[in-house]
Structure 1
Amino acid sequence: MSYVLVRRLRQTSLFSQLIRVESTMTNLTQEELVFRPPVTHWSKVIRDAEKIVGYPTSFMNLRWLLSDEFANMASYLRKLVGSNHPILQTAKTVLYNEQNNLQPWGLVILLLSNAVTPTTQALQAGNLAENQRILAELTEMIRTGHYVHRGLLNTPIEERGNVTDTAMFGNKIALLIGDYLLVTANGMLARLKNQDLSYLISTALRDMSEGEFFGERDKQNMPLPGAPLTGKDTDEYHITSDSLPLVVKDTLGHPVREWTVRTLFSGGSLFGRGCQGTLLLAGQTLEEQEMAYLFGCHLNLAWQAGSELQKLTSNNQFSLVSAPVLFALNKNPDLYHFIVKNKEDVSQVDYERLKCEVLATDAVERTKALYEENASKAENYIKEFGDNKSIDTVRKLINTF
């Protein structure tokens, strides 16, 4: 290993320190989004998939992790260790612990690329594979950058004079790291010189931005569920691959519709565009590109439902806008008043009591059904791309929960 590589790894070694301060940190990221499905044999499935792709995708992000710019910012981030700034939890979630990184996104895009890429001349095949790898990598980087930006500590105007230097310093680092990842990803996208692909990814960026203004939020920008509308719990949300903004009218208060829109805003749309984009690069038809987008969206929805179900039935923190909570609110609207009395700061909600109330309803069963429905749709779409090792591996990723 070269001296430069060792030096840079040491510069980013602060992430190994984060686990030691986890117990002292305040959980300010309750709207945590799924990065992998909660499966027992996940590592084995990943290893099998990486053999098909040809290299370990866990190293896909080393180029930006070990860059001089990121290493410099990481060295400043070390100064925050010991504080409770949310950027520390964000950094640990994203960059520590193999099971919580964004590896599945890029891996699925690469598996789909491998399944649909036509046989071409060696030079053309090499260029296409490189472009598809770049697409998979920049998709992950955009998602990571967006997630890092959410590790900001919001401070009311009237309290900003009392904010500590550490809090302000942490916010600056979060902004710099998030900006660096997003700018780098957009630079990679520009270098592909594909206007249609740039347009697809830009629609996903628009969706992620608009999602930050969807529904009510507390002073830390944590989301609050919409007021429940009884009798409106079976409405589906129709997902289309057109480039128009997501339809949000008549979604708040409807459990399935609200949850679907929130998940698409928070990354489902980006994952779908990444899958669609790799078929665009491979020269596939518009119909096949649409199926790829729908596959990506429904796979993300299935993983999200499975992750939320696991959080609720374990000791992990769960989100107030997760599917089980939304289903419980629809069944027992009085729970909504229990939540909104702490609408200024959702960290003050009695989560243990809320969990008991949610488990007393049929929310778990309905969330399981939600997972199964989206997993089934994702599998139906992926089967349209043939019968080969790549597709079989993707189907394993869908069905291992």
Structure 2
Amino acid sequence: MSYALIRHLRRTALLTQQMRTETIVTNLTPEDLVFKPPLTQWSKVIREAEKIVGYPTSFMNLRWLLSDEFANLAMHLRKMVGSNHPIVKTAKMLLYNEHNNLQPWGLIILLLSKAVSPPTTSLLSTEVTQNQRIVAELTEMIRTGHYVHRGLLNIPPHDRSSGTESAMFANKIAILIGDYLLVTANGMLARLKNQDLSYLISTALRDLSEGEFFGRRDEQNMPLPGKPVQNNTEKFQIQSNTLPLSVKDTLGSPIREWTLRTMYNGGSLFGRGCQGALLLAGHSAEKQEIAYKFGCYLCLAWQALAELQKITSKDTYSLVSAPVLFAINSNPELYNVIEKAKNITDIHLDKFREEILKTDAVEQTQLLYAENANKAKSYVQTFGNNTSIDTIIRMIKTL
């Protein structure tokens, strides 16, 4: 995406008529991580990638969608059709699974697995391939379960009435569906009987949980950005060790805060999924570290691009997205608007967007995306020159 296009997007967003501010009462849902690359090119690359791994990766979700346990939950979920509860949007996303709108985590892990596994037909090789496929599936399942839980409505007891009964019922169904996905994923992980892999995935689960308690929150438990800290341009260092992510000197520093939030929000999980694929293939710790960093940086690139598209369009955006963090760091007066609000709903997001677009936040987010995409590309290229790696690189370039 060129700077000329970015400038055009900024002008278009600034000229957009002022819309009604939508009420935001939930945490981030899967839609907040969706990016929309060029449809034709992206769909073609996805189809080619699925031919390489052997089957459409959209089938990965069908294994649990068609299970008896989920069928019972789906019967109750039908009662929520027509409501605005996030669980309905999430269910539609899972059922339709539009390739042009979703980051294909499982597909990337399968491509990486095929690239690093020996091309033999022995029983051992077949078992490794099957186990790697399970890792791809359970990674997607954990991710989906986590976002189902994050879409719960936070309705204070004093605001509950007969008008909120359907939302409260949907919350219960969302909890059950999220729990089912997480429990099923953990069961799949346990059946692999690989202690090292279990440890890697458990560290990602820890990071997902800790992310829910990082930084300030409003009364609806929506995340709020840290107070800007000037002259703090130090980058967040991604380490492959399994220690908790460092939160020191992150809040208020736009790149460090954004990187940590994205790592908490799924970057760590995707990285561990890629690392686990190499672990199962018997590769060295050095190769596993490269795979982990590749997954992390690719997730960061996807997130930056998704946030870039949202801030330059009519979509709802997060106040902890990269453009917002860059904007309040460039113009600290914008932070006063956030600091005075008790809830995100108190902020006129469209007017706030106009102020953001007056800064260089869009250009800085574009640079952030390019930097992480280039790092992801450089790491994955170390795994050789083959069809699977070439396809991953094409997917990165298509963004």
TM over 0.5: yes
Whether the aligned pair in 2 keeps the contact of 1:36 and 1:104 (CA below 8 Å) is no
Q: How does 1:115-194 map to 2 (within 5 A)?
A: 115-160=115-160, 164-194=164-194
Please state how far the C-alpha of 1:35 moved relative to its aligned partner. 4.5
CA deviation string 1:33-57 (max 9, x = no partner): 4255634421111001011111111
Output the amino acid matched with 1:290: E
**How far apart are the structure 2 equivalents of 1:74 and 1:363?**
42
CA deviation string 1:315-368 (max 9, x = no partner): 1111111100000000001111112322x3212311111111111000011001
Please state how far the C-alpha of 1:178 moved relative to its aligned partner. 0.2
Whether the aligned pair in 2 keeps the contact of 1:30 and 1:317 (CA below 8 Å) is no
Counterpart in the other structure of 1:218? 218
Whether the aligned pair in 1 keeps the contact of 2:26 and 2:153 (CA below 8 Å) is no
Which moves more between the two structures, 200-209 or 151-160?
A: 151-160
**How far apart are the structure 2 equivalents of 1:82 and 1:286?**
50
**How far apart are the structure 2 equivalents of 1:272 and 1:385?**
15
Q: Does 1:49 align with 2:49?
A: yes
Counterpart in the other structure of 1:20? none
Task: Pick closer, same or farther for the CA change 1:198–1:252 going to 2, 3 Å.
Answer: same
Counterpart in the other structure of 1:339? 338
Which moves more between the two structures, 207-216 or 60-69?
A: 60-69
**How far apart are the structure 2 equivalents of 1:97 and 1:189?**
24
Counterpart in the other structure of 1:13? none
Which moves more between the two structures, 158-167 or 360-369?
A: 158-167
Identity, % of aligned positions: 66
Counterpart in the other structure of 2:348? 350
Whether the aligned pair in 1 keeps the contact of 2:216 and 2:224 (CA below 8 Å) is yes
Counterpart in the other structure of 1:314? 313
Output the amino acid matched with 2:389: I
Counterpart in the other structure of 1:203? 203
CA deviation string 1:184-227 (max 9, x = no partner): 00000000000000000000000000000001112222111111
Task: Pick closer, same or farther for the CA change 1:56–1:103 going to 2, 3 Å.
Answer: farther
Please state how far the C-alpha of 1:30 moved relative to its aligned partner. 6.3
Structure 1: runs of 5 or more not aligned? 1-22
* Aligned residues: CA RMSD: 1.9
Whether the aligned pair in 2 keeps the contact of 1:31 and 1:321 (CA below 8 Å) is no
Alignment size in residue pairs? 376
**How far apart are the structure 2 equivalents of 1:307 and 1:82?**
27
Output the amino acid matched with 2:42: W
SS at match of 2:398: coil
**How far apart are the structure 2 equivalents of 1:80 and 1:308?**
29
Counterpart in the other structure of 1:3? none
Task: Pick closer, same or farther for the CA change 1:95–1:27 going to 2, 3 Å.
Answer: farther
Whether the aligned pair in 1 keeps the contact of 2:26 and 2:220 (CA below 8 Å) is no
Q: Does 1:288 align with 2:282?
A: no
Whether the aligned pair in 1 keeps the contact of 2:377 and 2:396 (CA below 8 Å) is yes
Output the amino acid matched with 1:129: T
SS at match of 1:164: helix
Output the amino acid matched with 1:204: A
Whether the aligned pair in 1 keeps the contact of 2:236 and 2:256 (CA below 8 Å) is yes
CA deviation string 1:265-291 (max 9, x = no partner): 000000000000000000000000000
SS at match of 2:146: helix
Output the amino acid matched with 2:132: Q
- TM value normalised by structure 1: 0.89
**How far apart are the structure 2 equivalents of 1:91 and 1:29?**
16
- TM value normalised by structure 2: 0.90
CA deviation string 1:159-182 (max 9, x = no partner): 456773212211110100000000
Task: Pick closer, same or farther for the CA change 1:220–1:94 going to 2, 3 Å.
Answer: farther
CA deviation string 1:46-87 (max 9, x = no partner): 001011111111111101011111111111111122333232
Output the amino acid matched with 2:311: L
Task: Pick closer, same or farther for the CA change 1:156–1:29 going to 2, 3 Å.
Answer: closer
Task: Pick closer, same or farther for the CA change 1:187–1:103 going to 2, 3 Å.
Answer: farther
Q: How does 1:2-401 map to 2 (within 5 A)?
A: 27-29=24-26, 31-32=28-29, 33-35=32-34, 38-40=37-39, 41-99=41-99, 104-160=104-160, 164-232=164-232, 234-342=233-341, 344-401=342-399
SS at match of 1:82: coil
**How far apart are the structure 2 equivalents of 1:200 and 1:350?**
42
Please state how far the C-alpha of 1:394 moved relative to its aligned partner. 0.4
Whether the aligned pair in 1 keeps the contact of 2:145 and 2:181 (CA below 8 Å) is yes
Structure 2: runs of 5 or more not aligned? 1-19
Counterpart in the other structure of 2:4? none
Task: Pick closer, same or farther for the CA change 1:211–1:118 going to 2, 3 Å.
Answer: same
- Indicate the structure whose relative CO is greater, using CA pairs within 8 Å and at least 6 residues apart: 2
SS at match of 2:104: helix
